[in-house]
Amino acid sequence: MFKPYGKRTTSSFILASRMSDLLDTYPSLFLAVQKLRLKHARHRIIGPNHKLLIEAFPRSGSSFVHQAFKAANPQDGQNVATHMHRSSQVIRASRLGVPALILVRSPRDAVISLLALGMQDAQLPILSSHEVEACLSATLLRYARFHERIAAVSGLAVAQFDEVIEDLGGVVQRLNVKFGTDFMPFNHTEAAVSELMKSSKRHLSPNADRDAIKASLAAAYHSPALLKDRARADAAYASMIARRDAQRARGK
């Protein structure tokens, strides 16, 4: 997984979030810039030869799904575009006709988890309550914009966070039905998940220290000052879940 932050102050974190979000409104330019920045990971940037896109807002399960998919489909490990965490990647996949699996987690859980990871790794030293609220606001807006921009994009299979961590095999089967693919479903047993965690980086599995930071962020998340930002993020989340529910009702 790409680190969500370099070492930043609160103000530089917010500025970087805004600049990246602005760039994301121009998909071709955004992806061209990423190809220059991420030379070691160009295989994760969507292209016509990819067989699948796995994309999401950060901390929504994409690392777990990617690792599990590769375990079940080792021959396709380099044929998966993933981990850009921006709408440009999704829009481009749709234009190319590449099957896309979009993972969606509630804004509260995803936003708090993302900031907690940055704080745990000392990449985001937040000190005051004002700084906490400012970073929460910026991240909520990023969450909302990501989902708003992909809401009308065609050719997406949507899965909710709890689905993929409890029954990824079933999600892959739905994906196969929707797109006519023949990916092997992950054998989602306790033993298989345990084996996956052994070979994964720390950010993928639960962590007591990070959970403590999450608890400290939870009260700030519900600050009255963030009411509008939360409402916008919640609406974007509800729209994606409604799309997921409609797909499940159709059996794909």
User: 63-73 pLDDT, tens per residue?
Assistant: 999 999 999 99
Contact 119, 128 (CB under 8 A): no
Question: For position 160, what pLDDT does the model report?
Answer: 97
Question: For position 31, what pLDDT does the model report?
Answer: 95
Q: List, in order of start, the domains of the chain with CATH numbers.
A: 10-249 (3.40.50)
Contact 174, 99 (CB under 8 A): no
Residue of 151, 126, 34 whose CA lies nearest to 85: 34
Question: For position 200, what pLDDT does the model report?
Answer: 67
Question: For position 205, what pLDDT does the model report?
Answer: 66
- Kindly report the backbone phi and psi dihedral angles of residue 219, in degrees, each rounded to the nearest multiple of 5, phi listed first: -65, -40
Structure confidence by residue, pLDDT tens digits, 144-185? 999 999 999 999 999 999 999 999 999 999 999 999 999 999
Question: For position 33, what pLDDT does the model report?
Answer: 94
Distances (CA, A) of 134 to 9, 87, 107, 140: 12, 23, 16, 10
Question: For position 201, what pLDDT does the model report?
Answer: 66
Contact 163, 248 (CB under 8 A): no
Tens-digit pLDDT profile for the chain (252 aa)?
A: 334 445 678 888 889 889 999 999 999 999 999 999 888 888 899 999 999 999 999 999 999 999 999 999 999 878 999 999 999 999 999 999 999 999 999 999 999 999 999 888 878 887 788 999 999 999 999 999 999 999 999 999 999 999 999 999 999 999 999 999 999 999 988 888 888 887 766 666 667 888 899 998 999 999 999 999 999 999 999 999 999 999 988 877
Question: For position 4, what pLDDT does the model report?
Answer: 45
CA pair distance 44, 36, nearest whole angstrom: 13
| Cα radius of gyration (the chain) | 18
In this structure, what token pair is assigned to residue 184? 């092997």
